[in-house]
A = this chain, B = another copy of it.
Amino acid sequence: MANLANTNDDERVDEVEPHSLHEKVYLQLRTAISSGKFASGETVTIRGLAELLGTSPMPVREAVRRLVQDRSLEMLPNRTMRVPPMSQARFDELADVRANVEGYAAFRAAERISDRNFAAIRSINDRMGVAIREGDVPGVISTNREFHFAIYSAADSDVLLSVIENLWQQSGPYLAALLHALSNAPNALPTVGFGHHFELIVALDARDAEVSRKAMMDDILTAAQWYRQNVLFDTDVEGKKTELKDAVR
């Protein structure tokens, strides 16, 4: 019964890493867009991105198709693609929808979260506290993301989670601008960063769904409020080609 020819595979390295090139390209472009490596309103071309990433146009074509699908890219009628321009109206829409959807996710999470997961969330928040004290802005942004998505995962709904991931992706360029703004205003870090995290933790600990929803909404809306007051919507349409080539493989 033991033939060790084809069953034993020692290589389980590629468990998580994407295998197909278009997947890799998609992930690269996705993080590039959501981290602000492309200017708002900047136009891109398939061949251009392909050369930038050192691949043929083929994988880029498929990746771009997906990015357009989740509104990370925009396809204008006249055969040109661009990063959706940031605007006050779009920002407001995203903030409001996020507050509602992610508030609901917090609601669900409070109903279902395990003690173990709750402890993990509390510990993420502690790490975020360290980042705030050290003025580590990128650290704050990333732990904040961890914190939020730990809660959303606890809501235990694939459908809901994918909706939220899509909303965050669309908010990516705004987040990048927020990061930049916070670097120049370190004293705002605790307010904007922590937001209503403590209320959220207390509510989750008490498994109080309605209060959790409220805390999550407040967290999102107050951050958006600060953003509106301190980050201007510059209509940067061109320039900023930015580096990206990294390493496709």
Mask, A53-80, CB within 8 Å of B = 1, is 0000000011001101111000000000
Out of B70, B163, B166, B170, which one reaches A97, CB within 8 Å? B163
Residues of B within 8 Å of A90, CB to CB, are: 158-159
A34–B170 Cα gap in the complex (Å)?
25
Chain A residues 90-113 with CB under 8 Å of chain B are 90, 93-94, 96-97, 100-101, 104, 108
Interchain CB contact under 8 A, A100 and B97: no
Kindly report which residue of chain B lies nearest to residue A98, judged by CB atoms: B159
Residues of B within 8 Å of A62, CB to CB, are: 61-62, 65
> A160 near B: Cβ within 8 Å?
yes
Chain A: interface residue count, which band? 20 to 34
A128–B2 Cα gap in the complex (Å)?
66
Question: If A101-B101, A163-B163 touch, does A69 touch B71 (CB 8 Å cutoff)?
Answer: no
Interchain CB contact under 8 A, A159 and B97: yes
Residues of B within 8 Å of A159, CB to CB, are: 71, 90, 93-94, 97, 167, 170
Out of B68, B94, B100, B166, which one reaches A104, CB within 8 Å? B100
Question: If A66-B66, A100-B104, A166-B163 touch, does A157 touch B61 (CB 8 Å cutoff)?
Answer: no
> A31 near B: Cβ within 8 Å?
no
> A117 near B: Cβ within 8 Å?
no
> A162 near B: Cβ within 8 Å?
yes
Interchain CB contact under 8 A, B69 and A160: no
The residues of A with any CB-CB pair to B shorter than 8 Å are 22, 61-62, 65-66, 68-71, 90, 93-94, 96-97, 100-101, 104, 108, 157-160, 162-163, 166-167, 170
**Pairs A–B under 8 Å by Cβ, sample size 5:** A62-B65, A66-B66, A97-B160, A100-B104, A159-B170
